[in-house]
Amino acid sequence: MKYTQLGRTGLKVSRLVLGTMNFGPQTDEADSHAIMDAALDAGINFFDTANVYGWGENKGRTETIIGNWFAKGGERRDKVVLATKVYGNMAPDGATVWPNHDKLSALNIRRAVDASLKRLQTDYIDLYQFHHIDRSTPFEEIWQAIDTLVQQGKILYAGSSNFPGYKIAQANEIAARRGGTIGLVSEQCLYNLAERRAEMEVIPAAQEYGLGVIPWSPLHGGLLGGVIKKEVQGGRRATGRAADTLKDPAARAQIQAYEDLVDKHGLEPGEAALAWLLTRPGVTGPIVGPRTAEQLESALRACELELSEELLAGLDEVFPGPGPSPEAFAW
């Protein structure tokens, strides 16, 4: 496993990030623990979760599964760079939603971090991420809450997720004016071959302010994982967003061109999509969310791939991306 610094920090993290969103909803606790053990054995030290994972009636379940894994000992917690998120309301679906139980008020941040620490069975979180922008709470208040948590030793760093470029700039400019606040050190964004809009402003802003970029959905909901090939071979058919996308003839032709291109180079589509992200400027590492040990093994193989210039050029032809800002929408 290769490692890199998380943005401008001294923190060393693996080039693959273990995403845990499937732990609980799709993968039971025993298999989740086995996947985390396998990831750690392979050198993956960066684990990502969120307080709302588990979803519906089971919000918080994923953090609980991770906490139970930490409780097994074996220096599991010490070896892991742990990232979780705050923003969503933790009330079960259908339950009464009380004011101040979501978003990024100082009150909810304080409440949410303590609840996450309890579920995770740890006394600190390495990277505490804002899951979404909060248009109602000023960054002065957010940073005051984060400063307190850092002073208390409950968190070490703060990061963002799903932020536009201007909010990354705003957050870190206000942090700089306050002084004594490290500001955002990472941005977790939707970024993959089929969805490259982050290249316009989000990733340049992250690079300018020294944030590590952590792409989520690197296979775009399975669309880049060989969906047509599996369909032809009689395997698992595309579902959800991937299935909806393939109903569009133009989109299907684009994915077919992608699968044909990587097949020509002797590569598996999902592994090529991950390997491409590892070549992108500013990217710390993509989040892989395996449901099974086999899916984790496939993701690990992507770390060993060297993509040729010919293949990279071909990928740009199939998925050209928007181009940088402002040229993407102006002269």
Domain ranges of the chain: 3-221+273-308
What's the CA gap between 14 and 43, in Å, rounded?
7
- Is the bond preceding 326 in cis, omega lying within 30 degrees of 0? yes
The predicted-structure confidence for 161-210, as pLDDT tens digits, reads as follows 999 999 999 999 999 999 988 899 999 999 999 999 999 999 999 999 99
Residue 225: predicted pLDDT? 95
Residue 12: predicted pLDDT? 98
> How large is the average pLDDT for residues 78-99?
93
Q: Flag whether pLDDT at 236 surpasses 80.
A: no
Residue 208: predicted pLDDT? 98
Residue 181: predicted pLDDT? 84
What's the CA gap between 12 and 282, in Å, rounded?
15
Percent of the chain beyond pLDDT 90? 92
Q: Flag whether pLDDT at 94 surpasses 90.
A: no
What is the pLDDT confidence band of residue 232, given thresholds at 50, 70 and 90? confident
DSSP bridge pairs for 283: 213
What is the pLDDT confidence band of residue 278, given thresholds at 50, 70 and 90? very high
Note the helical H segments in 183-248. 202-208, 227-232, 240-246
CATH topology classification for 3-221+273-308? TIM Barrel (3.20.20)
What's the CA gap between 295 and 35, in Å, rounded?
10
Residue 295: predicted pLDDT? 93
pTM over 0.85: yes
Q: Flag whether pLDDT at 79 surpasses 90.
A: yes
* Mean pLDDT of the residues in the chain: 96
Q: Flag whether pLDDT at 235 surpasses 70.
A: no
> How large is the average pLDDT for residues 253-281?
98
> How large is the average pLDDT for residues 215-235?
92
Q: What residues are annotated to the active site?
A: 53
What's the CA gap between 74 and 85, in Å, rounded?
25
The predicted-structure confidence for 118-159, as pLDDT tens digits, reads as follows 999 999 999 999 999 999 999 999 999 999 999 999 999 999
